[in-house]
Structure 1
Amino acid sequence: MTITLLGVRHHGPGSARAVVAELARLRPDIVLIEGPPEADGLVALTADPGMEPPVALLAHVPGDPTKAAFWPFATFSPEWQALKYAVEAGIPARFCDLPAAHSLAEKEPDQADDVTPAQAVRIDPIASLAAAAGYDDPERWWEDAVEHRGDTPFEVIAEAMAAVREGYTPDEREARREAYMRRTVRVAIKEGFVNIAVVCGAWHVPALTSIGPAAADDRILKGLPRVKAEMTWVPWTHGRLAHWSGYGAGVSSPGWYAHLFATPDRPVERWLTAAAGVLRDEGIPVSSAHVIESVRLAQSLAVIRNRPLAGLAEVTEAARAVLCEGDELPVELIQRRMVVGERLGHVPDSTPMVPLQRHLREEQRRLRLKPEALDRELELDLRKPLDLDRSRLLHRLRLLNVPWGEPRQTRGKGTFKEAWALQWRPEFDISLIEAAPLGVTVPAAASAKIAEVAAREGAALADLTGLVERALLADLPGSLPAVLAAIGDRAAVDTDIRHLMAALPALVRAQRYGDVRGTPAEGLAVIATSLLARVCAGLSAAVSGLDDENARGMVAHIDAVTSASALLDEGRERWLGALRALADRTGLPGVIEGRIVRILFDGDRLGDADARMSRAVSLAHPPARAGAWIEGFLSGGGLLLVHDPRLLAMVDDWLVGLRGDAFVEVLPLLRRTFGSFAPPERRSIASRVRSGSATEKDIAYDDERAAPAVRTVMGILGSG
């Protein structure tokens, strides 16, 4: 009987090549691999042509999405190559680490602020070996000692790890893991296997050198907590490999390691050629001469630094100096595209999935939306059936806490346009598994999610109206009755006008989306009109007795309702009427009064805005209140001061007339107000004040000269 321990570095291309060569030489009866044994039934899928690394084993506890763990594999992972070898050779491959049913049941250890030397060694033994060898960079030491050798000296690595672990006592969790590994080896021996290969992290090799009696390990493993865990394969990304993984090891340059594994012949030359291609794709001119000189520089740096082969540091410096000519932005592009990489793996359809995951995959194919790790922009025209279905899918997924797409601002103002930023992340699979009990299809699960939120006790009125908007965007009209009923019940008992004001805009927008997308939205207008009527009735009391912070919050609500009321039939007249009734009331906070006057002035409901401003900034009012009034009046933008010299003159005269201490008192308000103006507006205002044109004067208009322009504008607006 022979037991061969192959200690590897997780995600190490040199280790991966060496493992394949050693397994081919050993021709074992069985291969034991560090990983959760619940995945033994998934090993055969590694031979499926549809399985494309990077992928990960996902273990999760049904009904508890907080308990989940990933075990990632890349093409250059030694464990992946061991799996592939076993499947192709027709020999058993089993995972030998602590079962996920136990590891997911354990409480996460508290992260101590102070790390002991022994803990530091366990966290990164490679760093400890690199430090002992006089290297300050673990990655560089590993490249020199292992990756660039062309083989992996397993015996030497085992001796080095034994030296590092000398005097080290494993913690409870690690002791359990290594005890289970030894138990798995004993089981294989008992089953009659005589040539056993064990592929595990090099750190564990000293603990497996002597299998020992079973009694000690049985005591360690006795009474372990246990949960029901399920296992499957999910796509992974190179970007995620750059983080610490379920193996407790991450690599900062997965793209570089993938290149080293895939191109053992002339890796430096091929890498810099590919980097030149990346730069050319972005419009950066790079010639063949650039590539030749960068290769020479990288090789020269390796010689100067006494390295066997140019590593990532050398090729990066060569690319920076020659290909990028010292510019850091192209270097960052190479780092993102190549060093880390943007590869997203793929799992075959035969992989165990919940029905919701499978339906999403079918929808992705139907809509030609391929999941990608790269963040890419997608602009949709909602007048096209395909784009409309894509929009609905993305909105439905957001309801399920799967934000594959993030909405972006469109370049145009048409309501038929949508812009998205798409990026698939592996953790979305956990969200889909969590949502699986809600339905077997994406629309069914999203509808159930809406009903669940609508029935939740204590849901805010604004959240419920926002839910209506989201339901319409997702084309789920069947879920609206429950939400509308919840809104009606909540609005009937909610006496806080601010809650009603916060709820109204989303409800009005939902009505508009229903019109634009062709989604039925019956009942929305009635509820929106009812909410507006209650807001108008209670507005007077709601704006009384507010401090500065709450007054500014009320201004935001007033602005939102002003915009929303314009989309309601007769809503604007009712709202402006309520504001007009407030405009003449005394005792309003300055910022609210100023904002109301501005809204009425813009809506042609006031002809004496200049007189009101003159009274508001007079000496009869404290400077702080006058400044707040100005803040409210001008918060809609500075164009009014640019085009109305009378108002600009009043603001200018008020500022000039302030005493020094009063000016200092109102300065923060003025900075906040004028700081919100667009730079061109600020420049125009400053230019007028500097030139002395900020004075009140009569302006004579030539109606005859203006008539052609007026007719053109009226024709564009459809009013001519």
Structure 2
Amino acid sequence: MSGGPPRSGGGAADEGPLLLGVRHHGPGSARAMRAALEAARPRVVLIEGPPEADALVPLAADEGMRPPVALLAHAVDEPGRSAFWPLAEFSPEWAAIHWALDHGVPARFIDLPAAHTLAWEKEKEETSGDSDDTGDSDDTGGSDGTGEGDAEGDQDGGAPHAGVRIDPLRALAGAAGYDDPERWWEDVVEHRGVGDGDPFAPFAALEEAMGALRETYGDGGHERDAVREAYMRLQVRAAGREVGDDGVAVVCGAWHVPALRRRASVAADRALLKGLPKVKADLTWVPWTHRRLARASGYGAGIDSPGWYAHLFGAPDRPVERWMTKVAGLLREEDRLVSSAHVIEAVRLAEALAVLRGRPLPGLGETTDAVRAVMCDGSDVPLALVRDRLVVGDVLGEVPASAPAVPLQRDLDRQQRRLRFKPEAREREVELDLRKETDAERSRLLHRLGLLGVAWGERTVSRGSTGTFRETWRLRWEPELSVRVAEAGVWGTTVLAAATARAEADALAAPDLAEVTGLAERCLLAGLSDALPAVMRVLADRAALDTDVGHLAQALPALVRSLRYGDVRGTDTAALAEVAAGLAERVFVGLPPACAGLDADAAEEMRRHVDAVHGAVGLLDDSPAPHPTDLRGRWRGVLRVLSGRDSVPGGIRGRAVRLLLDGGDVDAGEAARLMGLALSVGTPPADAAAWIEGFVGGGAGGGMLLVHDERLLALVDGWLTGVPVEAFTDVLPLLRRTFSAYEPGVRRTLGELVRRGPGERAGVTGTGAGIAGFAAEPDTARAAAVLPVVRLLLGTDPEGKEAERQRDGLAGVGR
């Protein structure tokens, strides 16, 4: 290639390798780079990236490979330590790989090996306590951070302050008079067609600009760059010896080009690399997403609008018209009225805005303003949808099955294909009916991944059903989950084996009894029948040794909830029922003495435990598993002891009486007697107020109890009016907390009853019903008036004749 096309940069026009400085994830750079490679026809292409990935380059041509993807490197001995090198379809590096594969030219990566990068990060964390995302890169290859920083440096034009990083793109945009680096880049690169001009001119200009920045700012605060660039220079020299300098093309961040152009001795470069830390690293391809390419996601890969850049790269012509058509299609899917006339007017407005702003073509700012004005009626609400779905996008890449992966990842892929449970970048909600085998297997897979720390799904409240046969999950596959899968690979080669081993290890390491019971519940949900015996042994041992009644009461509800999964999931829960019954017996014995002498905060916590145990005992006693004793009867005895023991705080005594009343174990008269004793003159006001809160507090029907039983309301009213003035301010916050939990209608009714005086409502009877406010017998005449309507609704009176005959009667009832 002697005497061939000029090389980028001045002074070396006809000598040395072809240096193509690009912006990572820049579609304009990708197009220009492809044109330069077509013109130069190099014999080897060197690309910024970890050299351990050279063996993975051929996979880029696989039919199953769909960008965006990323090179994932992780330490073999510590899979959680990882780094990513993301590549989109419009990334210059990806385009360079494909050009080399299409033309049969070797493509190699020349950046610092991942083995050093991962070890370097570990060493940095150990010394400083913080870390960077090692696979991250800025707009022009200047750093491993986000690319954000102070571009101004010192006042005298020297190097910036220590630790301050510059963003080369922002610095160049500021020098050109732009306050937005993205808009500057669009004007000078993205809107510049390749045309028939010199394909190397843009790279020469960019190299000159970066050279000026490097002279001013030095390494720009990127301390690692000197080592990386020394390694890259060595690799470029080695390639030049193989094919000649003029046969080498280098695709790297434009920030590095001046350093690669600079002549440095081999000895000096090797000296910089001497003594670098090193770990054993594995690399593979993993799917990536457009959302993770955006700065807004927290991963600063250098672009704000990956969806927009993908559109610019893929649109063969008329990009603005095609973009507006996409926007219109999205808004129509959301039931917004958008016609072809809207598209035409939006294109015209975008072009007019570009002219007014002195831009060569409409950019993202102009198209966004036009969409807001024409298609969104000036509202930012639908515009936010356009940004989320199109400007950023939910595109998820794909990686072929032939890509290297840990055995656990391969097993997960097989299960996802078998269950037709494809990972997606966009958040979606799925309903699983556990009575169906496929849905049950999907549920078990999600629970097993949760145990392994692979949070693909988050469980949410099911709509329209409270049964245990239905689960609702909110799913989103994030690229980092590939790291979590690799990290979990140490537990086993399949999802089932890994989850089983992880559950057994977690049971042994659990710090308290409640965590072990929660783990037993998760094992049942995940269908880990092999892990459950080991977890149950740990649970039984912990329960036998734990003497804290609060811990036992906290653990019991989780165990009882787990018993309900046996019906739907077909899990044998006999061993679990036996442990739960034994745990309940220990709670019954230890709860009364544990409730004595508690302060206000401890009493409130213990009251919550009493509520939880009450619900758990009901479920446990109704479970099909046999029990040695009548648990519900034993629990009623515990509640009676709590309700009548003076040493128990008032809140717990009041709640015990309320639970006995709700269960029919005491009648309203006995409840009123106990309330009268608790609210007697000799009881301290604060203790009496706590009793009231325990009895009718929490909003769980306590307000309606006072509405329908005016004897109880009269007792509360009489006690409250007799509270001394000096004690009233002490009990007011507690009473306010009690009654504020009621529904507004209940509070309004109680206020009206108090205003009239309890027991003085017209038509209220207090005899014969057992509960004041209800008659002794139903009013059959009023009940019969609705029967015609019921028959009509049920279809037993299709003609509606009886309803017609009863119309006058219904009208009379309505009056």
TM category, shorter? over 0.9
| CA deviation profile, 1:196-233 (whole Å, cap 9, x unmatched) | 11111111111111242111111110000001111011
For the residue of structure 1 that corresponds to 2:79, the secondary structure is strand
| CA deviation profile, 1:30-49 (whole Å, cap 9, x unmatched) | 11111111111101110001
Q: Does 1:428 align with 2:442?
A: no
1:394-413 equivalences in 2 (<5 Å):
394-411=446-463, 412-413=465-466
Of 202, 208, 219, 1:159 maps to: 208
Identical aligned residues as a percent:
56
Q: Does 1:168 align with 2:217?
A: yes
Q: Give 1:653 deviation, angstroms.
A: 4.5
| CA deviation profile, 1:460-490 (whole Å, cap 9, x unmatched) | 1111111111111111112111111111111
Q: Give 1:514 deviation, angstroms.
A: 1.7
In structure 2, the residue matched to 1:718 is: none
For the residue of structure 2 that corresponds to 1:188, the secondary structure is helix
Q: Give 1:702 deviation, angstroms.
A: 4.8
Q: Give 1:435 deviation, angstroms.
A: 1.3
Of 508, 512, 519, 1:455 maps to: 508
Asked if the contact 1:32/1:95 (under 8 Å) is kept, the reply is yes
Aligned partner letter, 1:105: A
- Which 10-residue stretch deviates more, 522-531 or 545-554? 545-554
In structure 1, the residue matched to 2:632 is: 572
In structure 2, the residue matched to 1:467 is: 519
In structure 1, the residue matched to 2:730 is: 665
Aligned partner letter, 1:582: L
Output the aligned Cα RMSD. Answer: 2.6
For the residue of structure 1 that corresponds to 2:398, the secondary structure is coil
Of 147, 155, 158, 2:190 maps to: 147
Count of equivalent residues: 710
Q: In structure 2, how many angstroms separate the alpha carbons of the residues matched to 1:27 and 1:196?
A: 9
Of 125, 136, 140, 2:179 maps to: 136
| CA deviation profile, 1:267-289 (whole Å, cap 9, x unmatched) | 22211211111111111221222
Q: Does 1:75 align with 2:80?
A: no
Q: Give 1:522 deviation, angstroms.
A: 2.7
For the residue of structure 2 that corresponds to 1:537, the secondary structure is helix
Q: In structure 2, how many angstroms separate the alpha carbons of the residues matched to 1:272 and 1:87?
A: 35
Q: In structure 2, how many angstroms separate the alpha carbons of the residues matched to 1:94 and 1:677?
A: 70
For the residue of structure 2 that corresponds to 1:624, the secondary structure is helix
In structure 1, the residue matched to 2:625 is: none
For the residue of structure 2 that corresponds to 1:378, the secondary structure is strand
Of 481, 488, 503, 2:540 maps to: 488
Q: Give 1:11 deviation, angstroms.
A: 0.8
Of 24, 38, 42, 2:56 maps to: 42
- Which 10-residue stretch deviates more, 427-436 or 343-352? 427-436
Q: Give 1:619 deviation, angstroms.
A: 4.6
Asked if the contact 2:293/2:300 (under 8 Å) is kept, the reply is no
In structure 1, the residue matched to 2:673 is: 611
Q: In structure 1, how many angstroms separate the alpha carbons of the residues matched to 2:369 and 2:300?
A: 30
Q: In structure 2, how many angstroms separate the alpha carbons of the residues matched to 1:495 and 1:507?
A: 18
Of 767, 775, 778, 1:701 maps to: 775
For the residue of structure 2 that corresponds to 1:567, the secondary structure is helix
Q: In structure 1, how many angstroms separate the alpha carbons of the residues matched to 2:527 and 2:106?
A: 49
For the residue of structure 2 that corresponds to 1:232, the secondary structure is strand
Closer, same or farther: CA 228–609 of 1 in aligned 2, 3 Å: same
Asked if the contact 1:302/1:308 (under 8 Å) is kept, the reply is yes
Q: In structure 2, how many angstroms separate the alpha carbons of the residues matched to 1:256 and 1:694?
A: 71
Q: Give 1:512 deviation, angstroms.
A: 1.2
Q: Give 1:618 deviation, angstroms.
A: 4.5
Aligned partner letter, 1:665: D
Asked if the contact 1:404/1:425 (under 8 Å) is kept, the reply is yes
In structure 2, the residue matched to 1:127 is: 170
Q: Does 1:187 align with 2:248?
A: no
Closer, same or farther: CA 513–640 of 1 in aligned 2, 3 Å: same
Q: Give 1:150 deviation, angstroms.
A: 2.4
For the residue of structure 2 that corresponds to 1:197, the secondary structure is strand
Aligned partner letter, 1:461: L
Asked if the contact 2:642/2:652 (under 8 Å) is kept, the reply is no
Closer, same or farther: CA 475–24 of 1 in aligned 2, 3 Å: same
1:234-253 equivalences in 2 (<5 Å):
234-243=286-295, 249-253=301-305
Asked if the contact 1:8/1:15 (under 8 Å) is kept, the reply is yes
Q: Give 1:103 deviation, angstroms.
A: 0.9
Q: Does 1:12 align with 2:61?
A: no
| CA deviation profile, 1:668-691 (whole Å, cap 9, x unmatched) | 333433443445545554565567
Closer, same or farther: CA 688–275 of 1 in aligned 2, 3 Å: farther
Q: Does 1:323 align with 2:375?
A: yes
Asked if the contact 2:80/2:487 (under 8 Å) is kept, the reply is no
Q: In structure 2, how many angstroms separate the alpha carbons of the residues matched to 1:287 and 1:680?
A: 48
1:360-371 equivalences in 2 (<5 Å):
360-371=412-423
- Which 10-residue stretch deviates more, 539-548 or 104-113? 104-113
Aligned partner letter, 2:403: T
Aligned partner letter, 1:518: G
| CA deviation profile, 1:419-475 (whole Å, cap 9, x unmatched) | 11111111111111111122211111111111111222x531111111111111111
Q: In structure 2, how many angstroms separate the alpha carbons of the residues matched to 1:201 and 1:660?
A: 78
Aligned partner letter, 1:515: D
1:202-601 equivalences in 2 (<5 Å):
202-243=254-295, 249-411=301-463, 412-456=465-509, 459-569=511-621, 570-601=630-661
Asked if the contact 1:121/1:128 (under 8 Å) is kept, the reply is no
Q: Does 1:178 align with 2:229?
A: yes
Q: In structure 1, how many angstroms separate the alpha carbons of the residues matched to 2:675 and 2:735?
A: 15
Q: In structure 2, how many angstroms separate the alpha carbons of the residues matched to 1:243 and 1:132?
A: 23
Asked if the contact 2:435/2:568 (under 8 Å) is kept, the reply is no
Aligned partner letter, 1:198: V
Q: In structure 2, how many angstroms separate the alpha carbons of the residues matched to 1:575 and 1:379?
A: 37
Q: Give 1:330 deviation, angstroms.
A: 1.0
Closer, same or farther: CA 336–542 of 1 in aligned 2, 3 Å: same
Of 233, 251, 259, 1:199 maps to: 251
For the residue of structure 1 that corresponds to 2:490, the secondary structure is helix
In structure 2, the residue matched to 1:31 is: 45
Asked if the contact 2:685/2:727 (under 8 Å) is kept, the reply is yes
Q: Give 1:635 deviation, angstroms.
A: 3.5
Q: In structure 1, how many angstroms separate the alpha carbons of the residues matched to 2:717 and 2:376?
A: 52
Asked if the contact 1:645/1:695 (under 8 Å) is kept, the reply is no
Asked if the contact 2:17/2:240 (under 8 Å) is kept, the reply is no
In structure 2, the residue matched to 1:644 is: 708
Q: In structure 1, how many angstroms separate the alpha carbons of the residues matched to 2:419 and 2:676?
A: 60
Closer, same or farther: CA 419–186 of 1 in aligned 2, 3 Å: same
In structure 1, the residue matched to 2:142 is: none
Asked if the contact 1:57/1:234 (under 8 Å) is kept, the reply is yes
Q: In structure 2, how many angstroms separate the alpha carbons of the residues matched to 1:401 and 1:495?
A: 31
For the residue of structure 2 that corresponds to 1:94, the secondary structure is strand
Asked if the contact 2:409/2:486 (under 8 Å) is kept, the reply is yes
- Which 10-residue stretch deviates more, 416-425 or 319-328? 319-328
Q: What TM-score comes out, normalization by structure 2 length?
A: 0.83
Asked if the contact 1:71/1:246 (under 8 Å) is kept, the reply is no
In structure 2, the residue matched to 1:64 is: 78
Closer, same or farther: CA 650–31 of 1 in aligned 2, 3 Å: farther
Closer, same or farther: CA 616–292 of 1 in aligned 2, 3 Å: farther
